[in-house]
Structure 1
Amino acid sequence: MPVRLHPALKEAVAEAAKAHGMDVNSYVSALLAANTGLTHLVPPIQQEALPNTA
């Protein structure tokens, strides 16, 4: 599905995907799945591990 994005949005999405250790396609797919309730179709967005301070 080709999608046209504003260059700033495209860059922000690429940076967010990288921050979550995902490629852009996987990241966008996960966002769309979460928004449509079809989360079982794609892997979840990887969350950053929190430091153990205990």
Structure 2
Amino acid sequence: DPWTHKIVPGNTFWLLTQKYGCTLDEIIAANQDIDPLKLQVDQLVQLPSA
């Protein structure tokens, strides 16, 4: 099961790569239906499994 992260103000995909130790490409691939430039507070983002 992939992990999820709830977006809070100021979150970006780049910050999530730093927090969870994954690559930007992995996060984008796991969230193909999400525009990384339009993240919404309380939106759930899938994180790649380690």
What TM-score do you get using the length of structure 2 for normalisation? Answer: 0.36
User: Could you say which structure has the higher strand fraction?
Assistant: 2
User: Could you say which structure has the higher helix fraction?
Assistant: 1
CA radius of gyration, larger in? 1
Instruction: Indicate the structure whose relative CO is greater, using CA pairs within 8 Å and at least 6 residues apart.
Output: 2
